[in-house]
């Protein structure tokens, strides 16, 4: 039976890179990255149905009223939602589906689709996370501080996901994610102990 994976993490933790690395694996040949609906303007290089299904606001709200989304959110004035029919149809065709979502979106999906396997990726520390956010040179200091504050709330919610992975080392975190997704086993005891220690440290901050 194909599986729905919902992967979340605080901004800057490296979840997008980890997901794309896993999707390059032969094991992931029957895995598809989720496609969301959005009301934002389509960019020149974007193909309908690949990254997004583009809808106007009326069409989006109609789908929302019909209960057609596993989760939805408003981000920077635009509406986003994960279409239930696309996910169910893709899984019924034998493809695993990966949804990359924020914590609240992941919780919405788990409530709507309890069979989903939720995976939360944590940084080893908030200091490490701050360094990553600074080094990627995308945000102002004010935005970085906001993201760090949000990260603390996300960890409080994400700690109860089905699986926790620490991205202290990209290659090891990649192996952990691949194991959770395709081996039907949890990560090894040493990595579990590390995650338990890092989570406890994050929750104490």
Q: Structural domain tally of the chain?
A: 1
Residue 62 located in a structural domain? no
Residue 61 located in a structural domain? no
Burial of 192 (0-12, 13-18, 19+ CB in 10 A): middle
Residue 179 located in a structural domain? yes
Residue 181 located in a structural domain? yes
How does pLDDT run across 81-101, given as a tens digit for each residue? 999 999 999 999 999 999 999
Q: List the domain range (segments joined by +) for residue 10.
A: 4-34+96-204
Residue 135 located in a structural domain? yes
Residue 65 located in a structural domain? no
Confidence of residue 136 (pLDDT cuts 50, 70, 90): confident
Edge to edge, what strands does the sheet with 36-38 contain?
52-54, 36-38, 78-83, 69-75
Residue 51 located in a structural domain? no
How does pLDDT run across 164-203, given as a tens digit for each residue? 999 999 999 999 999 999 987 778 999 999 999 999 999 9
Residue 26 located in a structural domain? yes
Edge to edge, what strands does the sheet with 163-166 contain?
31-33, 96-100, 4-8, 117-122, 163-166
Per-residue model confidence (pLDDT) at position 28: 95
167: domain CATH number is 3.40.50.300
């Amino acid at each position: 039976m194909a599986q729905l994976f919902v992967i979340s993490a605080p901004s800057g933790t490296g979840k997008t890179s980890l997901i794309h690395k896993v999707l390059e694996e032969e094991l992931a040949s029957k895995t598809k990255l989720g496609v969301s609906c959005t009301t934002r303007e389509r960019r020149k290089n974007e193909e309908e149905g690949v990254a997004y299904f583009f809808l106007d606001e009326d069409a989006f709200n109609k789908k929302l009223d019909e209960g057609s989304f596993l989760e939805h959110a408003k981000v920077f004035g635009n509406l986003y939602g994960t279409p239930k029919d696309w996910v169910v149809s893709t899984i019924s065709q034998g493809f695993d589906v990966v949804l990359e979502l924020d914590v609240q979106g992941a919780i919405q999906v788990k409530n709507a689709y309890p069979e989903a396997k939720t995976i939360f990726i944590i940084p080893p520390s908030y200091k490490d996370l701050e360094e990553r956010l600074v080094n990627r040179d995308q945000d102002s200091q004010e935005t970085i501080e906001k993201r760090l504050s949000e990260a603390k709330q996300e960890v409080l919610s994400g700690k109860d996901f089905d699986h926790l992975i620490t991205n202290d080392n990209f290659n090891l975190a990649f192996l952990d994610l691949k194991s959770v997704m395709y081996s039907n086993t949890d990560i090894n005891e040493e990595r579990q102990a590390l995650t338990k220690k890092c989570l406890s440290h994050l929750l104490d901050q």
